[in-house]
Structures are given as structure tokens and as C-alpha cells.
Amino acid sequence: MLGLSRAVPLCTTVLLGISAFAQSSGPSVTMAPVGTVSAPRTKQTPIPINFRVSRGFHINSNTPKSEFLIPTTLKVEVPTDIVLGKTEYPAGDDVALPFSPDEKLSVYSGDFTVTLMVHPLKSIVPGTYAMHGTLRYQACDNAQCFPPKSLPVNFDLKVVKEPATHRANPAQSPHVH
């Protein structure tokens, strides 16, 4: 039989282990690292951002089928002289869940990519700019939904000079002496 002095540390260890397991196995979305993206001034540049939903969970798509469901959204703050274009979300998968087999939900599970369009203006100084944003989502499993979460989204955007435009020389007169 364990003495009280040995039982307390053992119980604490077990509880900490269970807590760590619950946190690591809970619903989450992770982002794959985005390397530095080069974007020429005056051109619209797509930036694919890859995410992964934990196994056994799904999140609502950007266009859920019910107004009561929280859509997945990516919001990015851009520096002055960089214009944010359209954010392109993938189509969700239509899934029926055991608690509501007659209703299909539009969800993301596994890997999915959101493409962000950026357009540096001619007035921006070429250089590297830190981009910061947030992916907001609500994760669910087959039995319940969890409170909404926000995932920080960070990457560097390297703005480069736009390519030089080719200018044709004017035609020369054959009579130049």
C-alpha cells in the first residue's frame, strides 16, 4: 500500500499526464510554414497558405450552410501601400453527421489551402514586410462543437521592383547620313 507521501506525487503525475493528453488531442488547426514570398510592385500575387485540421475533427467551411454556424475566415492586416485582394477559400466537403443525418454541413477536414491575393502598389519601397493575421475557426467532432479559436498567421512578404518594360527603339530612317 502506498503511503500518503508517495500517493500525492503519483496522483499529480497522472493528472498532469491526463491534462497534457487532453490538450494535445483536442481540436486544433495548424499552419504550415510559409517561406518568404516575393511580390513585384504593381502586380497581384497569390499566396497559398496551407492549414491542417486535427484528425477526428472538422471545422466549418468559409460558407457554412447555416447562419448559426461560425464560418472559417482569414483576416490579414497589410502595411500601407499593399492592397489586399480577394481571399480564395476552398469549397467545403458536404458531410452528414450522426447527430443530424438528414442535414449536410460544409466543412474542412485534414489539409486545406486558403489563397490570399496581395497587390503592392508602385509607391511602396521594395523590401521585406511582416504580414500578420488570424484564421478564425470553430472545430467540431462527430458529437459536439468547441468554442471558436483563432490561429495566428504570420509570414514575410518581399516586395521587389516591377520588371522593366521593354521599349522598342524608334525606327531609323535609312537616309540618315
CATH of the domain at 41: 2.60.40.1250
Residue 166 located in a structural domain: no
Residue 15 located in a structural domain: no
Residue 4 located in a structural domain: no
Rounded Cα–Cα distance for residues 39 and 170 (Å) = 32
Whether the pLDDT of residue 26 is over 70: the answer is: no
Whether the pLDDT of residue 127 is over 90: the answer is: yes
Cα separation values, 143 from 6, 43, 78, Å: 39, 46, 38
Q: Contact 45/60 with Cβ under 8 angstroms?
A: no
Residue 118 located in a structural domain: yes
Give the number of residues written for the chain: 177
Q: Give residue for cell 481571399.
A: 87
**Percent with pLDDT over 90 in the chain:** 60
Confidence tier at 29 by pLDDT (50, 70, 90): very high
Residue 13 located in a structural domain: no
Provide the number of structural domains found in the chain: 1
Cell numbers standing for residue 13: 503525475
Residue 16 located in a structural domain: no
pLDDT digits (tens, 9 = 90+) for 88-116: 999 999 998 777 788 888 999 999 999 99
Residue 114 located in a structural domain: yes
Residue 130 located in a structural domain: yes
147-153 contacts, C-beta under 8 A, 24 or more apart: 148/70, 149/27, 149/28, 149/29, 151/29, 151/30, 151/31, 151/51, 153/31, 153/49, 153/74, 153/76
The range of the structural domain enclosing residue 155 comes to 29-160
